[in-house]
Amino acid sequence: MRSGIGTRILGTAAVASLALLAVMALVITPQDVNQLDAVRFLYIHVPLATLMYVAFGVTAIASALYLWPRYRARKWDLLAGSSAEIGVVVTGLVLVTGSIWGRTTWGVYWTWDARLTTTAVLFVLFLGYLALRRVGGDVDARAKRNAIAALAATIDLPIVHKSVEWWRTLHQKSSILDEETFLHPHIHGSMYWTVMLGIGAFLLLFSWLLVNRYRLAKLEDRVEDEGLERAIAERRAEADAMTGAP
Amino acid sequence: MTDVGYLVAGYGITFAVLASYAAWIVSKKRALARELPPEERDSRWP
């Protein structure tokens, strides 16, 4: 199966912008006064964290649409599952890059800080959601169960975001994603624009991944249906052969 | 440059994981498409 021209353009744009991001992040931008070169983690860690919110946000919206009888369709369940899987991969990378960055600035890979802990909980919750999607049952009942589990797990998303304000944390306050810092960012010049480039590049990548993962989910669904239909036909043929029916 | 090892590890893991995940999606999509008859392969977005 070949991808459409739109998907190929999206993929090319994602790769090109990620290559530009690597050059900007590792070569062009200056050192930070306090963190020196460890500040370069900012250019992947913050975009990955933004992507985590977007991916699980898409999962929550698609799940809510499935539960809404007026909009109920199989595609929302498949879209929710696809976005959640990408979200889990990205959240894993948020934890890894944050952990390495923490080692260079805090001196430890891990501490039970509110932001780190709530993010780890989010990772585990959506891992559980992905495991739940594999549990069998009627298609509609499975999809409803998945949607309720996704919405329950999404409750942790605003808690992750607000954790640096609600508790005293080692993790710094939000760099970009709040009203105050979005209008008056704490970082300036090439550093600010490189973070923005990172967010744009990772959003392009997310779009490409989501389109392709969703297509894969639809194929998996069809293969499962085909297998079921084939099995039913085989059982009927066996039954007919035993009873001598034509 | 300071913290070179940490930066290589962080950027390396990130790009390697994302590239591997993208490659897995594409290869599995192609493998599954081969299992279906041609008229069933269309799985356009959305």
- Hey, is the C-beta of A117 within 8 angstroms of any chain B C-beta? no
Spell out, as residue ranges, where chain A has pLDDT lower than 70.
1-3, 174-186, 228, 245-246
Distance of residue B42 Cα from the nearest chain A Cα, in angstroms: 8
Per-residue pLDDT at A166 = 84
pLDDT digits (tens, 9 = 90+) for A168-222: 777 777 666 566 666 666 677 888 889 999 999 999 999 999 999 999 999 988 8
Q: Where do the domains of chain A lie?
A: 5-169+185-243
Beta bridge partners of A32: A36
Q: Which residue has the tokens 């005293």?
A: A168
Is B33 within 8 Å of A208 when comparing Cβ atoms?
A: no
By Cβ distance, the residue of A92, A96, A209 closest to B25 is: A209
d(CA A202, CA A22): 12
Interface check for A214 against chain B (CB to CB < 8 A): the answer is yes
Joined tokens for residue A128: 């559980």
pLDDT of residue A185: 66
Q: Collapsing DSSP states into helix, strand and coil, what is residue A36?
A: strand
Distance from CA of A243 to the nearest CA of B (A): 32
What ranges make up the beta strands (E) of A40-179? none
Q: Report whether pLDDT(B46) > 70.
A: no
For the cut 60, the answer to whether the pLDDT of residue B45 exceeds it is no
The closest CB to that of A75, out of B22, B32, B46, belongs to B46
